[in-house]
Structure 1
Amino acid sequence: MLFVVTGPPAAGKSSWIDAHAKPQDVVIDLDRITSALTGPGAPQWNQNPTHLRIAHRARYAAIDEAVQHLDRLDVYLIHTMPNARAMAKYKRLQARIVVVDPGRDIVMQRITSMRSPDMERVATRWYNARRRLPQQAMPQASRSW
């Protein structure tokens, strides 16, 4: 099965996956990919544009390959803000959409303490877009912090 885990930055998407995925599953997480492709000491949530471009290309290739194996394993994909085209693809693949959202106040607090200030803009965009769309899944709180 394909699980598409969505939510604003610092919501707990990776923590949700860590609590649900098994060792044999595939996890496609841009943060993990970026970390794997950068040198020692790079920030955990690396926003370097060149690193992100390379990581995005690797992510797309990983998605394309992983969905070929859904009959044998589960795939957990973090996609913060999937557009209509991506959602149509996930629907064709019969994905389960999981929304992780502990609430705007908690997200903004986490961003302030753990992430780049640029992520506040991404979180605001996520919440604004969410208000305009029909609810696709019940929001789920992440782990206790």
Structure 2
Amino acid sequence: MLIVVTGPPAAGKSSWIDAHAKASDIVIDLDRITRALTGPGAPSWNQDPLQLRVAHRARYAAMREAFELRDKTDVYLIHTMPTAKWLARYKRMDAKVIAVDPGRTIVMQRIEAMRDPEMKRVATRWYRSRPATQPGARAGRTMEW
């Protein structure tokens, strides 16, 4: 099964996966991939454009391969803000989509404490893109649709 985990930066998407995935599952997380591809001492949430470029390519290659294996093992994919096109693709694959959102105030506090300040823009864009009627739109909820 494919499980797509969405949510703003610092919402707890990786932590949600850590609480649900088994050791034998496939986890595709851009933060983890970037960390694996950077040298010692790099920040946990590295946003260096050169390293991100390589990490994005590795992520897409992993996605292509993992999508073929989703009937053999669970595949967890973090996709912060999937477009309508990506959501349609996930729907065709019978994916479960999970939105992790502890609320804007908590997210902004976490970004302030732990992340690159640029992530505030990404979080703001994430919240603006979510109509109030969309599943998971209420703060403090983890929703599935």
Contact 1:97 1:137 in 2 (8 A): no
Equivalent position of 1:26 in the other structure? 26
Letter in 1 for 2:74: D
Equivalent position of 2:4 in the other structure? 4
Q: What's the CA shift for 1:131?
A: 2.4
Normalization by structure 1: what TM-score?
0.93
Contact 2:2 2:67 in 1 (8 A): yes
Partner Cα separation in structure 2 for residue 74 and residue 137 of structure 1: 22
Task: Give the 3-state SS of the residue equivalent to 2:4 in structure 1.
Answer: strand
Partner Cα separation in structure 2 for residue 82 and residue 107 of structure 1: 19
Equivalent position of 1:140 in the other structure? 142
Letter in 1 for 2:134: Q
Equivalent position of 1:43 in the other structure? 43
Residue 79 (structure 2) pairs with residue 79 (structure 1): yes
Partner Cα separation in structure 1 for residue 5 and residue 57 of structure 2: 19
What is the RMSD of the two structures over their aligned residues, measured on CA atoms? Answer: 1.4
Contact 2:27 2:76 in 1 (8 A): yes
Equivalent position of 2:59 in the other structure? 59
- Which residues of 2 match residues 118-137 of structure 1 at below 5 A? 118-131=118-131, 134-137=133-136
* Moved >2 Å (runs of 4+): 136-139
Equivalent position of 1:96 in the other structure? 96
**Percent of paired sites with the same residue:** 67
Partner Cα separation in structure 2 for residue 137 and residue 106 of structure 1: 16
Q: What's the CA shift for 1:14?
A: 0.2
Structure 2 runs not aligned, ≥5 long: none
Structure 1 runs not aligned, ≥5 long: none
Q: What's the CA shift for 1:136?
A: 3.9
Partner Cα separation in structure 1 for residue 136 and residue 107 of structure 2: 19
Partner Cα separation in structure 1 for residue 85 and residue 113 of structure 2: 33
Q: What's the CA shift for 1:107?
A: 0.3
Q: What's the CA shift for 1:137?
A: 4.8
- Going from structure 1 to structure 2, the CA distance change for 1:137 and 1:105 (only over 3 Å counts) comes to closer
Residue 69 (structure 2) pairs with residue 69 (structure 1): yes
Contact 2:26 2:66 in 1 (8 A): yes
